[in-house]
Structure 1
Amino acid sequence: MSEIHVRVLGEDEWETYKSVRLRALRESPEAFVASAEEEESFEDADWQERLARSQRLLAEENGDAIGVASVGGVHRTKSDNIGELFGLWVQADRRGSGVARRLLEQAAVVARGAGLKQLVYWVGTDNGRAVAFASSFGFRPTDDRRPMRIRGVDAEDAESEEMKMVYPLADAAGVPTSL
């Protein structure tokens, strides 16, 4: 079996991010608030700005992109030491193979490197697999909920709910501080 590599995309790799993000939106529209149709209309400058404001992590195997996640700093959470994990996606045939875990491990390293003390992850309450996975990694559910409108799933926008899960970034057993 080949090895999974996770790396932070440089700001000049916006086209790579765009390609993977649009693939994720097309393959798993129910997992995202945005739609592929909406983001396909973005200008190049929009994609470049996205890479400038948040760290984008790319999981690769044999040079092929198989997963992506993003870590946003304090501007997303409006707190000095809390960041946000968002946009997590793994190619359907690679789910359950450790790709998401590797992305989260690297996300924790990136967040710690930025001096963050916690990561927040909003997960659809009806996405049991995502909630279970985040819990197994160490994210803990909170009572915070917010409505989530899923676009691009069908003719009518679907309404759902997300819950806030929190992961402490203090060094803990089993969680690497660097990769």
Structure 2
Amino acid sequence: MTDITVRALGEDDWQVYRDVRLAALRDAPEAFVASATQEQEFDEEFWRTRMARSRRLVAEQDGTVVGVVSIGRRPGGDERVGELFGLWVTPGLRGQGVAWKLVQAGVDQARSDDFGFVAYWVGTDNGRAVAFASSFGFRPTDSRRPMKNGNSDGEEPDEEMAMIFPLGDDPGSVPSAVV
């Protein structure tokens, strides 16, 4: 496998982010709130505004974007907590360390942005995702919420939990109102 590199996108890279976001929505529509059909209609101003709200990191192989993750602050959330979200890796490279590199870059970005913790919401019934986050060092919390995905078939929504990665010197310190 050719080396995977991860880089942060700037506001002028909005088209790069748009393209990988649309690829993710097409590949895994059940994992996201929006749909590719909705988002492909958004204009440049929308994408630039979205770029300014959070850090966008992409994984690349031979100049091709093969994954994405975002890190930002949840509106109304604890100022010490950065939220990792929108993690996606192209299907052909899953299980080969790309997600790990993206999450590591997201954690590093959160640390340099002076967050004290990183929150990552994971479906409680997604054993693979829970195991991945746990192996990275994220710890489960009691914070739960209904999953916000595009499924609106009338069934009870699945649940997701916040997993926390402390960035400070005391990995046992997790504030009670982190998420």
TM-score > 0.5 by shorter chain = yes
Cα offset, 1:54, TM superposition: 0.5
Calculate the TM-score normalised by the size of structure 1: 0.88
**CA gap 1:157/1:36 in 2 versus in 1, 3 angstroms:** farther
Matched with 1:123 is 122
CA distance in 1 between partners of 2:126 and 2:34 (Å): 16
Cα offset, 1:149, TM superposition: 3.7
Unaligned ranges ≥5, structure 2 = 171-179
Cα offset, 1:167, TM superposition: 0.6
Unaligned ranges ≥5, structure 1 = 173-179
Amino acid at match of 1:103: L
Amino acid at match of 2:112: G
Identity %: 53
Q: Secondary structure at the match of 2:39?
A: helix
Matched with 1:52 is 52
CA distance in 1 between partners of 2:67 and 2:89 (Å): 4
Cα offset, 1:156, TM superposition: 2.8
What is the CA deviation profile of residues 25-59 of structure 1, one whole-angstrom value per residue up to 9, with x for unaligned ones?
A: 11011222222122223222111111111000000
1:99-114 aligned within 5 A: 99-114=98-113
Cα offset, 1:17, TM superposition: 0.2
CA distance in 2 between partners of 1:65 and 1:157 (Å): 35
Matched with 1:175 is none
Q: Secondary structure at the match of 1:108?
A: helix
CA distance in 2 between partners of 1:69 and 1:27 (Å): 15
Amino acid at match of 1:156: D
Corresponding residue pairs, total: 170
Matched with 2:163 is 165
**CA gap 1:67/1:136 in 2 versus in 1, 3 angstroms:** same
Structure 1 runs (4+) greater than 4 angstroms displaced: none
Matched with 1:29 is 29
CA distance in 2 between partners of 1:137 and 1:157 (Å): 34
**CA gap 1:70/1:77 in 2 versus in 1, 3 angstroms:** farther
**CA gap 1:157/1:17 in 2 versus in 1, 3 angstroms:** farther
CA distance in 2 between partners of 1:77 and 1:137 (Å): 27
CA distance in 2 between partners of 1:63 and 1:136 (Å): 29
1:63-82 aligned within 5 A: 63-73=63-73, 75-76=74-75, 78-82=77-81
Matched with 1:156 is 153
CA RMSD of aligned residues (A): 1.9
**CA gap 1:119/1:77 in 2 versus in 1, 3 angstroms:** farther
Cα offset, 1:77, TM superposition: 5.6
Matched with 1:42 is 42
**Any conservation in 2 of the 1:77–1:83 contact (CA below 8 Å)?**
no
Q: Secondary structure at the match of 1:50?
A: helix
* 2:9 counterpart of 1:5: no
Q: Secondary structure at the match of 1:100?
A: helix
CA distance in 2 between partners of 1:124 and 1:147 (Å): 9
